[in-house]
Structure 1
Amino acid sequence: MGRITETVKVLLIVNILFFVGSQFLGEYAYQLFALWFPKNDNFYFWQLITHMFMHGGLTHIFFNMFALYIFGSLLEQSIGQPRFLFLYFSAGLGAAGLQILFSYFTFNSAYQAYLDAGFNPNEIQGFLNEVVASGRYNFYNNVPQDATEALINSYVTPMVGASGAVFGVMAAIALIYPNLPLYLMFIPIPIKAKYFIGGYFLINVYSAITGANILGPSNTAYWAHIGGAIIGFLMMWYWKKNQFNQNRWY
């Protein structure tokens, strides 16, 4: 493992400071800095960036920061600080974009189910406001239960974490160092980066499509992981294809 770069060090410190601060501010921190569904009153444009520094718990931040520590410095040393930062934040934004797109799809489908059941937009919004205020809700006989759950989950569940940005970094590493040997924790068998990272990506695709939680909790934003990985891979592929230098990308 090489020397940790200054950029990665700063990202680690900022993430940790946000996490510690959120423990003191509690729900107020998540209300301000987590990424909420755009139709939710808690949504602010700066959350597209700040959500990358928020985390849901010690396990969440540990694994994200561990992956950033392992892969981030190697990538920055390979492509330089400006491109590393551009890729990192672009992957994070791509992750947010795909997750929001998925949330809109599920929200609109569920919203239509309520309209078809005879609810008007004001009644639906009132229902959502009551859920936000009380945390409780009822199921209606003429609305499928899964539609109610999809409507609420899309509206009230914020997105947090550096996972999308980190997935972009990992995808870039898999492209430029495909045969880099990686080790799973407690398994002393090397796995090439292209298989390790590629397999992890496919697991996330499977979970996103089926809803099955193979790795991670049930509220994992799988589409965000996919979005970040796609942006990181495409960006690195473009740079490698068009501006390759034997020693470094600038």
Structure 2
Amino acid sequence: MPPLPPVTKAFMLICTAIFCVQLLLPSVAGIALEQWFALWGITSGRFLPWQPLSYAFLHGDFMHLFFNMFGLWMFGGELENLWGRKRYIHMLVASVLAAATVQILVMLLGTGRGYTVGASGALFGLLLSFGMLFPNRVIVPLIPPIPMKARTFVAVFGALELLLGLFGGGGVAHFAHLGGMLGAWLMISYWRGRLPFRPKTRR
């Protein structure tokens, strides 16, 4: 693998550093970070305007952090090299915000409680982007370790997230993951001029 480009590397380092703060100071910094920077529901009394972005830098446990960082390493670097820093940041922000919007709506409907943390929305946005840009690229996911085309991988994980979201998935924000994919699809469609509003320059 080539060296990680700067935005992907910075995102991974910040998430890891914040998790270490949560881990080392759970009774002080951990609670404070989750109360102020996790994504809370609109009606919870704890919602703050920066939370739809800040929640992506916090993680619930080591495995949560590991899988998200592994996914960023697996997909983020190549996409950043392809798009450049600016467009890559736009994609990350769009995916994170779309995931937060969907999760807020889910919580308003009463099907989600507590708070949401993690870079999974950004990761699923990158996953969808990779599948759209390199549909026939063969990849081997960590779970299950079975070679498959990128478009198949995206379809399988998208369907799995939908099923788990509808029928229960152990407290995981599955609809937020789908929201991240939606944000990526909208951003790529915008770049390609396929939406009613078009970019000033098309690529």
TM range (shorter): 0.7 to 0.9
The answer on whether the counterparts of 2:127 and 2:181 sit within 8 Å (CA) in structure 1 is yes
1:234-249 alignment to 2 at 5 Å?
234-240=186-192
* Match of residue 183 from structure 1: 140
The answer on whether the counterparts of 1:175 and 1:237 sit within 8 Å (CA) in structure 2 is no
Task: Give the CA deviation at 1:189.
Answer: 4.2
Distance 1:197 1:44, change over 3 A: same
Letter in 2 for 1:171: L
The answer on whether the counterparts of 1:159 and 1:221 sit within 8 Å (CA) in structure 2 is yes
1:128-143 alignment to 2 at 5 Å?
none
Task: Give the CA deviation at 1:92.
Answer: 0.4
TM-score normalized with structure 1 length: 0.72
Size of the aligned set, in residue pairs, is 193
Residue 57, structure 1, aligned to residue 61, structure 2: yes
Whole-angstrom CA distance in 2 between matches of 1:193 and 1:67: 13
* Match of residue 13 from structure 2: 13
The answer on whether the counterparts of 2:94 and 2:187 sit within 8 Å (CA) in structure 1 is no
Letter in 2 for 1:230: L
The higher-RCO structure (CA 8 Å, 6+ apart) is: 1
In structure 2, runs of 5+ residues without a counterpart are none
Cα RMSD between the aligned structures?
2.0
In structure 1, runs of 5+ residues without a counterpart are 107-149, 244-248
Look up the SS of the partner of 2:44 in the other structure.
coil
| Matching residue within 111, 124, 131 for 1:167 | 124
Distance 1:99 1:187, change over 3 A: closer
Whole-angstrom CA distance in 2 between matches of 1:161 and 1:168: 13
1:1-250 alignment to 2 at 5 Å?
1-23=1-23, 24=25, 25-106=29-110, 154=113, 157-185=114-142, 189-211=146-168, 213=169, 218-240=170-192
Larger Rg belongs to: 1
1:197-235 CA distance string (max 9 Å, x none): 221011001111222x3xxxx010011000000111231
TM-score normalized with structure 2 length: 0.88
Letter in 2 for 1:31: Q
Letter in 1 for 2:121: G
Task: Give the CA deviation at 1:187.
Answer: 6.2
Letter in 1 for 2:6: E
The answer on whether the counterparts of 2:12 and 2:69 sit within 8 Å (CA) in structure 1 is yes
